[in-house]
Amino acid sequence: MNTNVTPFVFPSKIGAGTRAMAHLPYDLSGFGAVRPMVVCLESVDTDGELNPLEDAFRGSGLTFGVYAMEATPTMETVREAWTHYHEGGFDAVIAVGGAVVMDVAKCLAVAGANTPDLLREMLNTGGTVSKTVPFAWVPTLDAMCGDSAPQACLGGKQINGEALVPNLIAIDPRMLSSRDPYTMAEAGLGALATALCLYEEGEIHGLIRPYVQLSVRQVMAGLLPLMGPQKTPSKGALRWFPKEKGREEEVAYVTAMAVAGALEPLAKKSLTFSLANALAPLSRVSTEVLAGVLLPWLLNHVHEQKERELSSMLMALGDMEHLCATPDPQRTGAALALLQEKINRIWLGTGARLPRTLKKAGIPRERLLECSQGVAEAIEGWHAHEIEALLLTAYEGRRVHPEMLKNGFMQEVV
C-alpha cells in the first residue's frame, strides 16, 4: 500500500567549529558512557593527530582507549577490536576518520550492544540493526557522504538500520587533514549528487528539503572556495589554505558530508544512482563521479520531457538574492545552468582529472543499451528508450530525443 509517506530520520547531533571537540565527552556522558574506545587508522595514532581529542577529554572524568587499525579491514579486524573492547571494559565507540574506519566502528558498536555472534549473523543475512552502544564520529577530510548513512559494509557484506547513524558528530578544524585532495573533490561531487538527485521527482518533501539545502550549500561554501589555481606549475590543481589562516571551508565541506549521509538511502533509489551503480563496473571512475556526470542531464530531461518543476532547486544552489531576482518561469532554467556551472568549477579545479561525460569516464558506448534495459526493469515509470537517450546524452555531452530512439533511429541535437 502506498501511504505517500517518505521516511527520513537524522538522529545525529552535529557540532562544528573550534569548540566542537570540547563538547564530545559531555555529550557521550549524557548517553551513560564513561569509557569510550577510539577507532582510527594506525597513521592517525602514530602521527599525533589524536592530540585534540586527548585535550578535550582531559578533566572531563571520562577516559578513552585507542584501537589503531590497518587500512584494509576484515572480519578479523572487528574480532580483534571486540576483544580489546570487551576486555578493556569500554562502553562506547568513537570513530576518527572515514570510510573503512566508520565501517569497523559501526560493526564494533553493534557487537558492543548485542554480541559478536549476532553481528556475524546479521552480516551474513543482511540483517537490520536495532541498537548500538553510544556511537560518535570525528570526521577528517577523507570523509565520504556515505559514512554517516544507516549502513555498514565489511568484506562485501552489508548491514542496515537507523541505529548505525552516529549519535554524535564533532567536526573540529584541527582534525581536518587529508593526503588526497582529489578524493575530497570526488566526495563533494557525490554529496552534491546525493542531495540534488532527490529533485528527480519534482518538489521535495518538506521534512527533507532543509537537509538537502543545507548539504548543497555547505558543499558550495566548503569545496568550491578550496579550488583554484596554485602557485605551482600544476595549473588548475586544487589549492589548500594553510591551517593558520582558518579552516571554515573545510568545516563546511565535512558538514555537507555528514548531512548528505542521511540522504543516501533515498538517493540510492533514484535513477541517477541506479544508473551510476550500473555503470560503475564499466568505468574508470567511482559511482559518485558518475552520478555527478549524469545529474545535470537527467534533471534537464525530467524538466523538459516529464514537465517537472525544479524551480525550488535554485534556493539550494544559489542565494536568496539570486532567487528573488529571477522571474518564476526562468527559475528552473537558472537552477540547471547554475548546477552545470558548479560541476564545471569542480572539473576545472581538479585540472580536468574528473570526467564531464561518460565517454571520458571510459565507458564503452555499446554497453549503454544493455544498461538502459536493465535499469528500466528496476525503476518504475521509466522506459528503456528514455534511459538510453539520457545515457547517450551524458556520453557525448549532447542531447538526444527519446522519441527518435523509440522509432528506431537517433537524432542528436547540439
Tell which CATH classification among 1.10.1040.10, 2.60.40.10, 1.20.1090.10, 3.40.50.920 matches the domain 181-413. Answer: 1.20.1090.10
Cell matching residue 312: 525550488
Cell matching residue 3: 501511504
Distances in whole angstroms, Cα of residue 233 to Cα of each of 240, 279, 346, 368 = 15, 34, 19, 38
- The strands making up 36-41's β-sheet, listed across from edge to edge, are 13-16, 168-171, 135-138, 92-96, 36-41, 65-69
CB 88 within 8 A of CB 65: yes
Q: Class for domain 13-175, per CATH?
A: alpha beta
Give the separation between CA 229 and CA 232, rounded to whole angstroms. Answer: 8
Domains of the chain by residue range = 13-175, 181-413
Handedness of CA 365, 367, 371, 372 (dihedral sign): positive
CB 229 within 8 A of CB 235: yes
Give the separation between CA 162 and CA 223, rounded to whole angstroms. Answer: 28
Distances in whole angstroms, Cα of residue 380 to Cα of each of 11, 117, 120, 267 = 30, 38, 34, 15
Cell matching residue 14: 552535529
CA dihedral 4, 9, 15, 21 (to 10 degrees): -160
Angle in degrees, 0-180, between the axes of helices 368-378 and 384-396, rounded to the nearest 10 = 140
Question: Please, what's the b/e burial string for 229-255 (b: 16 or more CB within 10 A of its CB; e: otherwise)?
Answer: eeeeeeebbbeeeeeeeebebbbbbbb
Cell matching residue 344: 564545471
Tens of each residue's pLDDT in the chain, 414 residues: 344 555 666 789 999 988 899 999 999 999 999 999 999 999 888 888 899 999 999 999 999 999 999 888 888 899 999 999 999 999 999 999 988 999 999 999 999 999 899 999 999 988 899 999 999 999 988 888 889 999 999 888 999 999 999 999 999 998 887 556 788 888 999 999 999 999 998 888 888 899 999 999 999 888 888 775 444 444 444 544 434 444 788 899 999 999 999 899 899 999 999 999 999 999 999 999 999 999 999 999 999 988 888 988 998 888 778 788 889 889 999 999 999 998 988 888 888 888 999 999 999 999 998 899 999 988 888 989 899 999 999 998 877 666 655 544 444 433
Residue type, position 289, single letter:
V
